[in-house]
Structure formats: C-alpha cells, structure tokens
Amino acid sequence: MPRDGIQRIFGEAVSNFTGFAPLGVVLVAMLGVGVADKGGLIKALLKKTVLGAPDRYITAVVVFAGIMSNVASDAAYVVLVPLGAIVFAAKGRHPLVGLAAAFAGVSGGFSANLVLSSLDPLLAGLTQEAAQIINPEYTVDPSVNLYFMIASTVVVTFLGTWVTERIVAPRFGEYTGEYREEVEALSAEERRGLRAALLGFLAFLAVVLLMTVPENAILRGEEGELIGAATPFVAGMVPLIAVFFVIPGLCYGYASGSIKSSNDVARFVTSTMADMGGYVALAFAAGQFVAYFNWSNLGTILAVAGADFLQAIDFTGLPLILVFIIVAGFVNFFIGSASAKWAIMAPVFVPMLMQLGYSPEFAQMAYRIGDSVTNIITPLMPYFAIIIAFAQKWDKNVGIGTLIATMIPYSIVFLVGWTILLVIWFLFGLPIGPVGTIFY
C-alpha cells in the first residue's frame, strides 16, 4: 500500500467516523425514542392496543401492533411477542399461535409502518453515503419510503392475519399444556399516563401544523414550499421525530409516576445511549468502509461495470429488482443486522442501480422488503434465541426447527405479497415518499 494511503487511513479515521451521516441522525432520533420507551409509554401503548381488541380481530391487532412497534426499535421483541402468546392463551387459543403472529408482525414486517421509525434515518443515511459515490450532492431524507411503508402496513397486516388463521392456527389446534399466565391489565397509573401522552401528542401536532400549514410558516422554504430536499421541514425531520417521542413520553412519565424528576429523564437517555453502543461500534467500521470505497473509486468501478454488464445482457427493469430483493433476503441468513447488511450492500448496489436509472430511494425500498421477510426464519437474527425461550414456556419441545417451520409460511407469503405491491407501485410509477421517486 502506498505511503500516502496508510497516512490517510490513520489521519482520517476519526473524521470518517464523526462524518458518517447515519451516526448523528440515529442517535438524535433515539434520544426521543428512549424517553418514550424507558418511561413505559410504548409498553403501555402495546398493552392498550392488544388487550383492548375484540376477540374476532385479535389476530389482526397483534400483527398490526407488531408492525407498529418497530418505532421502538427492538423493544417489541421482549414486550409484544410474549404478550401475543399471553393474550391468545387468555382468549382460549393456542399461545404459540399468538406468539407466531406477534413475531411475524414485529420481525417479518420490520420495515413497514404508518409513521417514521428509528430504522428510517438509519437506512437513509447509509443510502445517502452510497448515492454520493455517483453524485456527491445527493441527499436522502428519512421519509423517502413513507408512502410505500404505509401501504405495506396494510398489506402485511392482512397477509399476517391470513397466514395465522388459515395455516398456523389449524396446525397447532387446541392448547393442552400446563403453563398458564395471567394477562396483566393496564393499571390506573398507566391509563392516566396514556391520557396525558395523548394530550401531549395533540399539543405537539398543533405546534407542527402551526409551523407548516400557513403559507409563510417557519418550516416552509423561501418560496413557500413544504416538501423538498432543502426545505426546513424535511431538513428538520430527524429532530421532529425525536420531539414526537419526547413530548408524549414526558407527559406519560410524569402522569404515571415513572418519571419523578429530571434525573429520571437523564437516566433514560443515558440508558438508551448505552444500548446504542453496538451501533456506534458498527458506525465506526461502516464509516471507514464507506470512506475506503470512496477513496479507491471501487464502488464507482463496480457500479459502472455491473450496470454495463446488466445492460449488455438486457437484464434490467422489474426482473433485476426482483432478483435484488431475493439477494437481500438471502444475505439476511448470514448477517442479521439490517444496518450492517445495508452498509455492505449499499455502496455497490445503490450506485449500480443509479447507473441503470433507478433512484437510491427505490433501491433502499426494495432492500427493506428482502431484509424483512427473512428475519423470521434466520437463526442469526439477534432475538431468535429469545423467541425460542418465550415459546418454551408454553411448549418445552420447541426448538430452532419448530420455530423456523412455523414461520416459513409467513416468510413466503410476505415475500410474494410485498413484492407484488412493489410491482404495482413500479408499474404505475407511484411516489414512494414525500420526496421519494422510483427513477433517478
């Protein structure tokens, strides 16, 4: 390696890390999510959603709650998945069916949601870094996949409910095990906290509307535009996400008693940042990886060569995107982290697809489908062992094979149904987000 190359590796290691776009974005967003999570708001919301559902809709509610719970990142794995089993048992159904439905929503539908989650800024930052290999001025907003993710929430909820009722539930039949667990209803403190959180959310929403709806609102651009890569509203999306969680989280905490002073808030934030230690370590490695790709122009070389090869064999359009989804799902068997996979794949695939005329946002959207649908059948998923431990409370014979066999129908149906949704989006050229398009 040349002398100046070694000097550059050591001399710019810190700036590669601190300048890594997703790092600050994710940490800022998680400051808000942490207050809501550690203070108990998210757990109470999940209980309220699931426990209050009518019996005939319980499966759909469990799957839907699982999908929505990814706003709290990984918290739903240890809250909603066992709660799904408990609720099904309380309603006289096999608890492992409820566990499977919850797991399918939480993990199989990890990329779908009605609102932005902590995953959106994380992936958007990685996508932006990769897109800048081709266009140094390119920016990717966290909301670029929002419209498609909202539609995906409806589709995945329907598919998850159908698989549960038509395939999984008949297989398990009636529960005859000995283990029982009572469903813990919402306490008076939790109900009071949820009411306060709702008022806090409405107040936050009113302020956001005040700053965005009027023609000369403070978060609009110089010419009055609201949506656009350079508008204050879009540029300030990450702090808005943080405040979106902080205000209801604080209201819930003080009303329910989980927050008694500012020291509790500081403790929640500190604990959240401690939980992000693994991500910070990943960001250091990913920052160096992306920087080396940029220095060497390897990403550009691979992208141009790959694009030329695909064009030469006439392998473009929908077939290429469908294969990309399958590749992303296959890689998930070997690398469980969504961000770790995308940090490796994005510098190659995003520029390549840009050369073929597809936007970085569309590449990210296709990747999210492949990453999500195989989460529930890969033993390398970090929470897979925990799910097995939960299942063994109800059936001691459950192991890796049993869980994978149970979740395979979800994985196949999600892959087919979600891909069909993408094909529809592609054929009609629908916008995938407020500032997200299919073509570059």
Q: What is the DSSP string of 128-179?
A: HHHHTTT-TT----TTTTHHHHHHHHHHHHHHHHHHIIIIIHHHH-S---S-
Residue 439 placed within a domain? no
Q: Where is pLDDT greater, at 244 or 308? A: 244
Residue 437 placed within a domain? no
9-13, 41-45, 232-236, 357-361: least confident range? 232-236
Residue 26 placed within a domain? yes
pLDDT at residue 143 tops 70: yes
Gap between the Cα atoms of 72 and 81, Å rounded: 14
Residue 160 placed within a domain? yes
Gap between the Cα atoms of 433 and 121, Å rounded: 14
Total residues belonging to the chain? 440
Please report the pLDDT score of residue 336 as a whole number: 66
Look up residue 373 and give its two tokens: 């649908």
Please report the pLDDT score of residue 75 as a whole number: 60
Mean pLDDT value across residues 196-207: 91
Gap between the Cα atoms of 71 and 122, Å rounded: 12
pTM (two decimals):
0.71
Q: How confident is the model at residue 26 (pLDDT cuts 50, 70, 90)?
A: low
Residue 133 placed within a domain? yes
Please report the pLDDT score of residue 206 as a whole number: 92
Residue 436 placed within a domain? no
Please report the pLDDT score of residue 115 as a whole number: 78
Mean pLDDT value across residues 241-263: 88
pLDDT at residue 161 tops 90: yes
Please report the pLDDT score of residue 312 as a whole number: 63
Q: State the sign of the Cα–Cα–Cα–Cα dihedral 148, 338, 346, 28.
A: positive
Mean pLDDT value across residues 125-145: 87
Mean pLDDT value across residues 150-158: 94
Q: What domain count does the chain have?
A: 1
Please report the pLDDT score of residue 177 as a whole number: 65
Please report the pLDDT score of residue 97 as a whole number: 92
Q: How many CB atoms lie within 10 A of CB 232?
A: 17
Tell me the percentage of the chain whose pLDDT exceeds 70.
83
**Residue 31 gets which letter from DSSP?**
H
C-alpha of 315 from chain center:
30
- State which of 207-221, 299-313, 381-395, 401-415 shows the largest mean pLDDT: 401-415
The answer to whether the CB of 63 falls within 8 A of the CB of 159 is no
Please report the pLDDT score of residue 101 as a whole number: 93
Q: Tokens 């990814």 map to which residue?
A: 70
Residue 115 placed within a domain? yes
Gap between the Cα atoms of 219 and 235, Å rounded: 9
Please give the residue range of the domain that contains residue 80: 3-428
Mean pLDDT value across residues 134-151: 88
Gap between the Cα atoms of 1 and 3, Å rounded: 7
Please report the pLDDT score of residue 368 as a whole number: 92
- CA neighbours within 13 Å on the CB side: how many for 349? 22
Q: Where is pLDDT greater, at 24 or 38? A: 38
Residue 39 placed within a domain? yes
pLDDT at residue 230 tops 70: no
Please report the pLDDT score of residue 162 as a whole number: 96
Gap between the Cα atoms of 71 and 183, Å rounded: 24
Q: Tokens 């892959």 map to which residue?
A: 415
pLDDT at residue 68 tops 60: yes
pLDDT digits (tens, 9 = 90+) for 81-111: 777 887 787 777 888 998 999 999 988 888 8
Q: What angle do CA 306, 309, 310 make, to 5 degrees?
A: 85
Mean pLDDT value across residues 427-440: 86
Phi–psi pair at 219, nearest 5 degrees: -95, 10
pLDDT digits (tens, 9 = 90+) for 357-413: 899 999 999 999 998 999 889 876 767 777 787 788 788 888 888 889 999 999 999
Gap between the Cα atoms of 375 and 108, Å rounded: 6
Closest CA to 103 of 156, 66, 157: 66
The answer to whether the CB of 392 falls within 8 A of the CB of 398 is yes
pLDDT at residue 203 tops 90: yes
